[in-house]
Amino acid sequence: MIRDTEFLTFESKLIMNTKHAFQAAARDYLVRLEEATKLIPLEAVELLAHALMDCWQTRKQVFLIGNGGSAGNAVHLANDFIYGISKRLGSGIRMHALPANQAMITCLGNDEGYENIFAHQLAVLADEGDVLIALSGSGNSPNILNALTQAKWQNLKSFAILGFKGGKAKELCDHPIHVPVTDMQLAEDSQLIIGHLLMQWLSVQGTASFVCSANTEVARRI
């Protein structure tokens, strides 16, 4: 029979072991995340940075797509680029997260198939010269691939932030940003890290452009 004092000692040890196990797992994850950031291809990200700056200056549109956690990241980043990048009224980037409209997603998924939920929206909303950014861990989701194909037909400029081996999207998009991690959570973390570093760089560049060109149409836009 375990006495109360023995039980408390056992419980305390269990708590301490659990705490140590968690901290070890957390440190391991943070180390792997740091290693993942070293795999981000900055030259490819820079191409996207300049494409977004062009969209900002010319009022072209940017479309974000993704599934699951990547869909959540798409919605998050659209917020950052519409408002967070510049808080002056009307001065953000015209960015749309296509997973955000639940009525549209369920309508198209039901009527046209889930593989077409993004391509159909692009066909209606996008114009030649706009930018598509696909967020995908595997790079093989049919709705991502169909959207990238639709982007080619409409002469959109396409980027894809990809994990694992990059999948079919790596070859199908115009500009792959491939972070070769084999962990879905790290792949999704990489999407936000890239999005946030782009947001901060563009915000600084936009402020500089406004200061240097305060009386121009471009300055009024950004």
Between 123 and 221, residue with greater pLDDT: 123
Does the pLDDT at position 4 exceed 50? no
One domain for residues 61 and 26:
no
Question: Which range among 4-18, 57-71, 117-131 shows the weakest confidence by mean pLDDT?
Answer: 4-18
pLDDT at position 60: 98
pLDDT at position 30: 96
Between 211 and 180, residue with greater pLDDT: 180
One domain for residues 48 and 16:
no
Q: Which two tokens stand for residue 208?
A: 């500089």
One domain for residues 3 and 102:
no
One domain for residues 95 and 139:
yes
Domains: count for the chain? 2
Overall average pLDDT of the 190-201 stretch:
97
Q: Is pTM, for the whole model, over 0.75?
A: yes
Facing residues of 131 across strands? 62, 157
One domain for residues 19 and 126:
no
Alpha helices (H) in 38-174, listed in sequence order: 42-58, 69-79, 102-111, 119-125, 142-153, 169-172
Between 80 and 87, residue with greater pLDDT: 80
One domain for residues 118 and 69:
yes
Instruction: Count other Cβ atoms within 10 Å, centred on residue 196.
Output: 14
pLDDT at position 88: 86
Q: Which helix (H) or strand (E) holds 21?
A: helix 4-37
One domain for residues 106 and 16:
no
Q: Which domain holds residue 55?
A: 41-221
87 confidence band (pLDDT: 50, 70, 90): confident
Rounded percentage of the chain residues whose pLDDT exceeds 90: 77
Say how far apart CA 53 and CA 46 lie, in whole Å.
11
Does the pLDDT at position 218 exceed 80? no
One domain for residues 80 and 68:
yes
Q: pLDDT tens digits for 109-167? A: 999 999 999 999 999 999 999 999 999 999 999 999 999 999 999 999 999 999 999 99
One domain for residues 94 and 204:
yes
Distance of CA 209 to the CA centre of its chain: 25
User: Are 52 and 63 a contacting pair, CB within 8 Å?
Assistant: no
Does the pLDDT at position 1 exceed 50? no
pLDDT at position 22: 87
pLDDT at position 56: 95
pLDDT at position 13: 58
Distance of CA 168 to the CA centre of its chain: 18
One domain for residues 30 and 46:
no
- For residue 121, the domain's CATH number is 3.40.50.10490
One domain for residues 29 and 64:
no
One domain for residues 127 and 74:
yes
Sign of CA dihedral 21, 24, 26, 29: negative
Q: Is 122 exposed, middle or buried (0-12, 13-18, 19+ CB in 10 A)?
A: buried
Task: Give the list of residues 6+ apart from residue 38 with CB closer than 8 angstroms, or none.
Answer: none
Beta strand ranges found along the chain (DSSP E): 61-65, 94-97, 131-136, 157-162, 175-178
Considering the chain, what is the average pLDDT of its residues?
90
